[in-house]
A = this chain, B = another copy of it.
Amino acid sequence: MSHSRLLDELITALRCLPGVGPKSAQRAAFHLLERDREGGRRLGEVLAEAMARIGHCKRCRTLSEADLCAICADSGRDQSVLCAVENPIDATAIEASTGFRGTYFVLMGRLSPLDGIGPDELGLSELQQRLGEEPIEELIIATNLTVEGEATARYLSEMAAAAGVGASRIAHGVPLGSELEYIDSSTLAHAFAGRQRVRD
């Protein structure tokens, strides 16, 4: 409790942010009020607009304020390669790190029956339709290497096979720059089992 009702409301409202507890909410509120009112005003405006206007791209399901996201609307992208990812952050990471010029399908989650997330929640019937109707030659499966991400990958690869579309899975193994002795054993086992022949 502080000296002002509105300040208490601001501190409470800031706690909707992930990882923000009572202390950091307080610190953030004072920081904005004392040192960055313009930033706070701007954040308020953008939040209101974003919460009201951002929906999902009709084609790839990612977050977008337009019917089609910028990538789906870009006719220069290669329509023969489709990359399936769990969420928009993953697509952003692939855009930033790779030269990928195909399109995405954003699952907005992963198969998790215990949480009530099945194929319908991930829009997989739409994906199936696209695999059947569009000239897609490769489905790159870039779900995470977790139990659920792997189950989702298996489901997707079976869908691709049924539609006669080739499927690939991003490589998992030892990250660049790391040393074997510090790698966790599952990753090392994966990298070992997935070893590739050295070209001459």
The CA of A145 and the CA of B34, in the complex, are separated in Å by 22
Query: Which of A40-48, A157-165, A187-195 has 4 or more CB atoms under 8 Å from chain B?
Result: A40-48
Q: Number of contacting residues on A, CB 8 A?
A: 62
Q: Is the interface of A mostly helix, strand, loop or mixed?
A: helix
The CA of A158 and the CA of B197, in the complex, are separated in Å by 80
Contact check, A95 vs B1: say whether CB atoms are below 8 A apart. Answer: yes
A74 closest partner in B (C-beta): B3
Contacts of A40 in B (CB 8 A): 16, 47, 50-51
Contact check, B65 vs A30: say whether CB atoms are below 8 A apart. Answer: no
Contact check, B42 vs A2: say whether CB atoms are below 8 A apart. Answer: no
Q: Which of A1-56 touch B at CB < 8 Å?
A: 1-7, 9-10, 13-14, 16-19, 24, 26-34, 36-37, 39-54
Known: A3-B64, A44-B46. 14 other contacts (CB 8 A): A1-B96, A3-B60, A4-B63, A6-B53, A6-B54, A7-B63, A7-B88, A16-B40, A16-B43, A18-B27, A32-B50, A34-B87, A37-B51, A44-B45
The 9 A-B residue pairs whose C-beta atoms are closest, nearest first, are: A16-B39, A44-B47, A3-B69, A44-B48, A13-B46, A13-B43, A10-B50, A41-B51, A40-B51
